[in-house]
């Protein structure tokens, strides 16, 4: 019998052939599964939605992280909201000037499971410069007195406890905790499936930041394969980004950075 994982989201589905279910549990927040697939290696699944595959995770993590990190003139303090697999933190630590990273993940079990099944993705979670907090990222940004150079939101889809990570109140708090050159960036889903959500987030960023942009990456295992990120920057236009050859990447490049920013949702207007 063949086993297929169907990642269903708002009228569209993406299917992966599963060879083996390696792990399945219900945490206090969500159903967590790790499956071995035919084409994409091991895959992390939360509440039925694919979070990462071994084969294409770099396409997502590198693009989420390096576009905002290279937009900031000198990112030393970075906040990651969500990101329990550790892939975003791994990319952040490639930047030599980073001194401190705070990661706020609501579900400790995601981190535990990723440490066990995805050591190459989660390895940077042991870096001594990382403070790992298990709480709601919305509450954290509302209450923290600390300020950051870059805030990255590596969240699940905009439902349940992740819904408020896409709200105006959340971005108001993010703006408040960013320093004067601050940059924030959120994953904002597939533009053909969630164009209206992206439009809302872009409006929030436009009201707050001097510069905002929408950019894209190809992530084959996510529904539709095309993914977006919404970036706000207080002082630097994302087209005037830094280069640093010490940061080794497989997917991100300066040429790609230039090519993907200022993406337009022309079909939504
Ligand atoms: N790359 C993935 C994607 O776009 O599908 C996201 C991966 S990462 C595993 C997402 C994490 O966000 C999950 O572990 C989830 O528990 C966490 N998360 C969701 N809502 C959150 C919240 N309000 N505060 C903190 N973490 C949250």
Q: Encode pLDDT of 227-267 as tens digits.
A: 999 999 999 999 999 999 999 999 999 999 999 999 999 88
Q: What value does the mean pLDDT take over residues 129-145?
A: 98
Q: How buried is residue 93: exposed, middle or buried, by Cβ count under 10 Å (0-12/13-18/19+)?
A: middle
* Domains delineated in the chain: 3-52 (2.30.140.10), 57-265 (3.40.50.150)
Task: Return all residues near 174 (Cβ < 8 A) that are at least 6 apart.
Answer: 141, 151, 153, 184
Ligand 1 lined by 162 (C-beta under 6 Å): yes
Q: How far is CA 244 from the centre of its chain?
A: 22
Task: Please provide residue 69's backbone torsions phi and psi, each rounded to the nearest 5 degrees.
Answer: -65, -35
Q: Which atom of ligand 1 is nearest to the CA of 156?
A: 10
Q: Residue 204's closest CA among 154, 258, 177, 165? A: 165
What are the Cα distances from residue 113, in Å, to 23, 30, 32, 183, 192? Answer: 8, 13, 8, 30, 31
Tell me the per-residue pLDDT of 95-106, one tens digit each, with 9 for 90 and over. 999 999 999 999
Pocket probe mutation, ligand 1, options 29, 89, 105, max atoms within 8 Å of Cβ? 105
Ligand 1 lined by 92 (C-beta under 6 Å): no
């Amino acid at each position: 019998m063949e086993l297929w994982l169907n990642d269903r989201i708002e009228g569209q589905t993406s299917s992966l052939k599963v060879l083996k279910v390696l792990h399945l549990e219900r945490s206090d927040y969500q159903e967590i599964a790790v499956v071995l697939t035919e084409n994409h290696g091991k895959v992390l699944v939360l509440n039925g939605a694919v979070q990462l595959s071994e084969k294409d995770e770099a396409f997502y993590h590198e693009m989420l992280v390096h576009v905002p990190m290279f937009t900031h003139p000198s990112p030393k303090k970075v906040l990651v909201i969500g990101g329990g697999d550790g892939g975003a933190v791994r990319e952040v630590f490639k930047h030599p000037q980073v001194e401190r990273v705070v990661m706020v993940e609501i579900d400790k079990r995601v981190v535990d499971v990723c440490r066990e099944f995805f050591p190459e993705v989660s390895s940077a979670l042991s870096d001594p410069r990382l403070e790992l907090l298990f709480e709601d990222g919305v509450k954290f940004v509302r209450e923290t007195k600390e300020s950051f150079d870059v805030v990255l939101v590596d969240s699940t889809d905009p439902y349940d406890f992740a819904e408020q990570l896409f709200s105006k109140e959340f971005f108001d708090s993010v703006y408040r905790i960013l320093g004067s050159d601050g940059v924030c960036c959120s994953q904002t889903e597939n533009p053909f499936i969630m164009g209206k959500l992206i439009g809302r987030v872009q409006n929030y960023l436009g009201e707050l930041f001097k510069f905002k942009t929408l950019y894209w990456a190809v992530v084959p295992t996510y529904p539709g394969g095309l993914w977006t990120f919404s970036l706000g920057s207080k002082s630097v236009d994302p087209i005037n980004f830094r280069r640093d050859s010490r940061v080794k990447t497989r997917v991100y490049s300066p040429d790609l950075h230039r090519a993907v920013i200022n993406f337009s949702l022309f079909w939504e207007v």
